[in-house]
Amino acid sequence: MERLTGGLRPFALLSLFCLMLYLPGLASLPPMDRDESRFMQATRQMLESNDFIRIQFQDEMRAKKPAGAYWLQAASVEALSHPASTQAWPYRLPSMLAAWAAVILTFAFGRTILGPRPALLGAGLLAATLMTVSEAHQAKTDALLLLCTVTAQFILARFYILGRAREAASGGGSGGGCSTGTPAPQIKGPGLAEALIFWLIQGVAILVKGPVVPVISLLTIAALGIADRNLRWLNSMKPMLGTVVAAAVAAPWFVAISQATGGAFVGEAVKGDLLPKLLGAQESHGGFPGLYLVLAPVLFWPGSLLLAPVAVKLWSQRHRFAFRVLLAWAAPTWIMFELIPTKLPHYVLPAFPALALMTAALTLEGLEAFRAKAAKAWYAVWTLVGLILAGAVLGLPMVFGNGFSLVNAVAALAIVAATIIPAVLAWRGQMVNAALALALTAAATYPAVFQGTLPLLDKMFLSRAAAQVVNTIGSDVPVAAAGYSEPSLVFLLGTQTQFTDGSGAADYLKAHPRALVLVESRQQAAFDARAAANGTKIEAFAILDGFNYSRGKKASLAVLGAMAP
């Protein structure tokens, strides 16, 4: 491993690893419902209207997130594609690049506080987590949020560690009792330029996903202040000047959107998005405090093989400056999201870089905890996640795709083998080899899932199937859909796609005889009754049976048109 940590080699190695994990499926995976398709469609409408202030999904104001992610997606589409195109990959490219950059910065960050070997392993663990790979494949805000978090927290940690180390060296420290533990490379002191970058990133992060990154940084500062009873190091970050800088970055767009919507955007963002998440389970995405802890073996997989045994030992490392700041980053962030009633798997992703670095460092130090009986039992339990993923690669196509495939069977066997190898190595106490083998686990699993399995699940992507039929037949006017209103349908069929009920679809067909309508089976009776009353003879072009995963229900779509006289 030593040969991999010098010069440009670790950056090249991590870049190739990210490319291997993030590129498969980026173009072939259909638009995902619902958040990703809403983001992509709103970005398309920005380009269609040349209005980069207001965020619209069809005629509805989308007051969920600020405009930062939309702007980056729009720049990618403008440079590499066209708004009329239904290719998803240009919209996803900013997320993929952000995930890659977050991994690279995690290595650069970890190298300065822990050394190159823990940094390389930690960055690799972050790159391979299920949540990182998933968000790298989706045109949303969370990979961008991860990048902003790593950048801001990296700079914050540098100011803290240098400031506290200087106090300890001069004998002026108070409280905390920190030490560096294992000697780390000398840290070049951050100055005004890095402080300004920190505050610029805070402003950018607000434009990407509101106050999330500023809150994480504030929680980190508060945790360090409580632990050390000392915040003198914070003065060198120029917080008063920095607040002005962050506001100068974020405020212009908020002023512009408030003027453009008469103040409705900010009001709706607070009342319709932020407060419901804080006060209750928004859109049925609820869960109990502690849910993320229960899900951690999956969310952090495959790195959870190592994380679980070291988790109980992290607190005992708090006397070391590096671990102290990483704990102050990860623990309050995790607790905050555990306490928020609304639960989505990607919410805890901003804590993953700190967890990955601490896990890597303790793995390389060879903790006795890895050889405990409980740890060995955990290695066996951990393999279940890989076996479930292998089962999904083999079984999902038989339920939602084209049936059994020999290629999928081989991929499933490869995933099983790549899961068992690190588990066996860990059980034997060869933790460094087990950690390195996790790269094989990720490389065998994610390309098979994102390129070989998910894009071929035709019954799960009804919007894609419907768009293929519509494009084959052709429609002179926008398509109307009754009983099926997924955002992916708008992205694939165009901004003017109409949503209505069964009766409305029949009336639309009477008014536009050369149109096509999509009628979900639950609206079929109402459609037939109104069509008969209108005297419209109906021609069925296709019946598409599938599964609407957004609603968790089976669905059947009929592609219908008016029969020519």
Structure confidence at residue 414 as a pLDDT band (50, 70, 90): very high
Q: Residue 517 phi/psi, 5° resolution? A: -130, 150
Contacts of 83-90 with CB under 8 Å at 24 or more apart are: 83/44, 83/47, 83/48, 86/31, 86/467, 86/491, 86/492, 87/27, 88/27, 88/29, 88/30, 88/31, 88/36, 88/40, 88/139, 89/26, 89/27
* CA–CA dist 350, 146 (Å, integer): 5
pLDDT category, 545, cuts 50, 70, 90? very high
Judged by average pLDDT, the poorest of 40-49, 362-371, 526-535 is 362-371
Domain boundaries, given as residue ranges, for the chain: 2-276, 369-458, 461-562
295 has pLDDT over 70:
yes
32 contacts 450 by C-beta, under 8 angstroms: no
DSSP string, 313-341: TSGGGTTBHHHHHHHHHHHHHHHHHHHSS
Residue 180 has pLDDT above 50, yes or no: no
520 φ/ψ angles, rounded to the nearest 5 degrees: -75, 150
| Confidence category of residue 425, pLDDT binned at 50, 70, 90 | very high
Output the CA–CA distances (angstroms, integers) from residue 243 to 146, 198, 212, 249, 437, in the order listed: 21, 10, 15, 10, 44
Res. 182: pLDDT tops 60:
no
Whole-number Å distance between alpha carbons of 55 and 359: 40
* DSSP-assigned letters across all residues of 433-496: HHHHHHHHHHHHHHHIIIIIIGGG-GGG-HHHHHHHHHHHH--SS--EEES---HHHHHHH-TT
Neighbour-count burial of 147, counting CB atoms closer than 10 A to its CB (0-12 exposed, 13-18 middle, 19+ buried): buried
DSSP secondary structure letter of residue 179: B
Q: Residue 539: pLDDT band by 50, 70, 90 thresholds? A: very high
Taking only the tens place, the pLDDT of each residue in 83-113 is 999 999 999 999 999 999 999 999 999 999 9
3-state SS class at 68:
helix
Question: At 300, is the pLDDT very low, low, confident or very high (cuts 50, 70, 90)?
Answer: very high
CB burial readout 249-269, b (16+ within 10 A) else e = bbeebbeebeeebeeebeebb
Cβ atoms of residues 543 and 558 within 8 Å: yes
Taking only the tens place, the pLDDT of each residue in 188-209 is 567 899 999 999 999 999 999 9
Please compute the mean of the pLDDT values over residues 471-482 and round it to a whole number: 94
Q: State how far the Cα of 116 lies from the Cα of 4, in Å rounded to an integer.
A: 9
Angle at alpha carbon of residue 386, lines to 413 and 315, rounded to 5°:
150
**Among 236-250, 255-269, 472-486, the least confident range:** 255-269
Judge if pTM exceeds 0.75. yes
pLDDT for 546 equals 95
Q: What is the pLDDT of residue 171?
A: 62
The model's pLDDT over 272-283, given as tens digits with 9 standing for 90+, comes to: 676 666 665 555
Look at residues 519, 516, 513 and name the one whose alpha carbon lies nearest to residue 493.
516
Q: What is the C-alpha R_g of the chain?
A: 26
Q: Quick one: which of 427, 485, 459, 449 has its CA closest to 554?
A: 459
334 pLDDT higher than 90: yes
The 10s digit of each residue's pLDDT in 22-68 is 999 999 999 999 999 999 999 999 999 999 999 999 999 998 889 99
Assign 162 a pLDDT band (cuts: 50, 70, 90): confident
Residue 176, pLDDT > 60, answer no
Helix (H, G, I), strand (E, B) or coil at 517: strand
Looking at the DSSP bridge assignments, the partners of residue 184 are none
Report whether pLDDT(179) > 80.
no
* The pLDDT value given to residue 214: 97
What pLDDT does residue 428 have? 94
pLDDT of residue 360 exceeding 80: yes
Evaluate whether the domain defined by 461-562 bears CATH number 1.10.10: no
Instruction: For residues 66 and 356, give the distance between their C-alpha atoms in angstroms, rounded to a whole number.
Output: 29
Least confident span in 16-25, 222-231, 313-322, 435-444: 313-322
pLDDT exceeds 60 at position 260: yes
Q: Check pLDDT > 70 for residue 175.
A: no
Q: Please name which of 310, 298, 295 lies closest in space to residue 121, comparing C-alpha atoms.
A: 310
Burial (CB count <10 Å: 0-12, 13-18, 19+), residue 229: exposed
Residues in the chain: 565
Cα separation values, 165 from 124, 161, 169, 187, 315, Å: 28, 6, 6, 10, 20
Q: Average pLDDT for residues 9-22, to the nearest whole number?
A: 97
Between residues 370 and 285, which one has the greater pLDDT?
370
CB distance 145 to 346 below 8 Å: no
